[in-house]
Structure 1
Amino acid sequence: MCAKDIIANVKTMYDIQIMYSKAHQALDYALPLTYGTHEETFQLLPSFIYVLEQKNPRTITNLQCDEDGKFLYFFMSLSASLRGFRRCMRPILSLMVPI
């Protein structure tokens, strides 16, 4: 949802025209209430990784943080995707012939 969607919803539901800045303020207020802050969701990431690996054996995960504990990147490859990739990829033989 974006500010334009909020403007349209308020217009449809209440027949009131609001400014874009007010809709953007409402969005900035509502998103952390709905989804939590970046800091809160980052703290949940290790438990998410643990559950993911328990429910999907052979899943590959990698969480990287810097020395201060700041997030750098998170990689995951689900075991089902890995199996499908291995099963569908055909071996390729490549020969280099000097000219």
Structure 2
Amino acid sequence: MKIMYGIQIMYSKAHQALDYVLSLTYRTHEETFQLLSSFGYVLEQKNPGTITDLQCDENGEFLYFFMPFGASVRGLQRCMRPFISIDGTHLKGRFGGTMFVATAQDGNEHVYPIAFRYGDSKNNLSWEWFLDNLKEVIS
């Protein structure tokens, strides 16, 4: 803003303006969460073998979203090393939560993604839900 228009603004104002423009362009976070079930449906239709699982609490609020791509699962069964690595990381941002990832390794030692899970905190129930879904997909 200073270079283009000669106006000095605070970083927080610039960040608020950016958030506002992004919400006009791409919708708000709340609106995109409401589209998650539709996204899962289209993902399953366009990628054969893909399974998505969306879990909400009793109030209809988002808890977990699990998505293994069908092509990744078929690749795992056909040509990956028989070892799966699983890890989770805390997400930083407005909604927080955790992302779990299951990966394998190919013959050239490249990382091969199998499944992703987004949701609330890293606790035993979250891990159990992720591992149960993963077991169903790869068994």
With structure 1 as the length reference, what TM-score do the two structures score? 0.70
Give the corresponding residue for 1:37. 28
Count of aligned pairs: 83
Runs of 4+ more than 4 Å apart: none
**Quick one: structure 1 residues 57 and 17, their matched pair in 2 at CA, closer, same or farther if it must change by over 3 Å?**
same
Identity %: 77
Q: Which moved more, 1:21-30 or 1:51-60?
A: 21-30
Q: Give 1:87's match in structure 2, choosing from 61, 65, 78.
A: 78
Mapped to 2, the partners of 1:33 and 1:24 lie a distance apart of 14
Deviations 1:60-83 (A, max 9, x none): 211110111000011101111111
Q: Which has the higher strand share?
A: 2
Give the corresponding residue for 2:106. none
**Quick one: structure 1 residues 88 and 13, their matched pair in 2 at CA, closer, same or farther if it must change by over 3 Å?**
farther
Q: Which has the higher helix share?
A: 1
Deviation at 1:91, TM superposition (A): 4.6
Q: Give 2:39's match in structure 1, choosing from 42, 48, 51.
A: 48
**Correspondence 1:51-66 to 2 at 5 A:** 51-66=42-57
Q: Secondary structure at the match of 2:63?
A: strand
Computing the radius of gyration from Cα coordinates, the structure with the larger value is 1
Superposed CA RMSD: 1.9
**Quick one: structure 1 residues 28 and 90, their matched pair in 2 at CA, closer, same or farther if it must change by over 3 Å?**
closer
Mapped to 2, the partners of 1:11 and 1:37 lie a distance apart of 28
Mapped to 2, the partners of 1:42 and 1:86 lie a distance apart of 32
**Quick one: structure 1 residues 70 and 88, their matched pair in 2 at CA, closer, same or farther if it must change by over 3 Å?**
same
Q: Unaligned 5+ residue runs, structure 2?
A: 84-139
Alignment partner of 1:28 is 2:19 = yes
Give the corresponding residue for 1:69. 60
Mapped to 2, the partners of 1:15 and 1:81 lie a distance apart of 51
Aligned amino acid, residue 85 of structure 1 = L
Greater RCO (Cα-Cα under 8 Å, separation 6 or more): 2
Please tell me whether the aligned partners of residues 47 and 70 of structure 2 are also in contact (alpha carbons under 8 angstroms): yes
Aligned amino acid, residue 61 of structure 1 = T
Q: Which moved more, 1:57-66 or 1:83-92?
A: 83-92
